[in-house]
Amino acid sequence: MDMHKRVRLLEGYAVVSLLIFGVLAFSGFTQTASKFDEITVQRLNLVEKDGQLVLVMANRDRMPDPIVNGKTFKSERPPGIIFYNGLGDENGGLVLGAANRGDGKYGANAQLTFDQYKQAQTIGLMYSDHQGEREAALRVWDRPEVPLTEVWQRREAIDRMPDGPEKETAKKDLREAALAHTRVFVGKSKEREAKVTLYDAQGRARINMLVDASGTPRLDFLDGNGKVTCSLPGNMNAMTGKNQSH
């Protein structure tokens, strides 16, 4: 075989080898890129095709600021997961944390909440623990119709007002407009009661159904001032005894 043919053969072999290597390398890259045994990140964004946020999972430093009605507001938040609706507004999330405060003191909490449209959370699963004072419950809130962005804007305007009676009146009016009342509590209270409480539109407890820490069940009906007007089985036993006396 002459020199010219040998050179052509070596060139062909080199080209074929390069192509095979390229295919194997690309195949290995795509397989690695599509499958992970473990990934470590500080923030993970899930987005739609147009880049719209659907979900964010992040540590404390990289948690996004709240977005409501298209407006972003500065806020420090614990690590967790934030959900977004189809309009890009925050729609609830899962946050959690714990801290040792020294001298045996600690605090721990976890919350899974879902927001009212253009407002704050309207339902949530809540856990809190402070040195053994534990509460774990499902809560439902009555949120105002006014958008949360309007509340924030009014608060910023009030903060810029000079101190005095006019500013204090504006603060009071804003508190009343932005007030959110608890309507339902289902869970374990700090007093170790298994408890269901129903509240009226002003946030006043009107019915308590509970089993206390000693195992005693009770059903209380309350007036608008929090006074028990009827209690079962207490009143029932009294009424039964009264009827038997006749």
- pLDDT of 17 reads 56
Per-residue tokens: 43: 């923030």
Residue numbers in the chain where pLDDT is lower than 70: 1-34, 235-246
pLDDT of residue 226: 93
What's the total number of domains in the chain?
1
pTM across the whole model = 0.75
- Residue 1 in any domain: the answer is yes
pLDDT recorded at residue 184 = 97
**Per-residue confidence (pLDDT) for residue 74, from 0 to 100:** 83
220 is a domain residue: no
Question: Is 68 domain-assigned?
Answer: no
Q: Does residue 2 fall inside a structural domain?
A: yes
Give a yes or no: residue 9 inside a domain.
yes
Q: Residue 107's beta-bridge partner residues?
A: 99, 130
Look at residue 26 and tell me if it is in a domain: yes
Tell me the per-residue pLDDT of 163-194, one tens digit each, with 9 for 90 and over: 999 999 998 888 888 888 999 999 999 999 99
The domain containing residue 28 runs over which residues? 1-37
113: region left, alpha or beta (phi > 0 left; psi from -120 to 50 alpha): beta
Task: Return the pLDDT at 101.
Answer: 78
Q: What is the pLDDT of residue 228?
A: 95
Do residues 90 and 84 touch, judged by C-beta distance below 8 A? yes
For residues 120 and 7, what is the distance between their CA atoms, to the nearest angstrom?
A: 75
Identify the pLDDT of residue 8.
61
In this structure, is residue 21 part of a structural domain?
A: yes
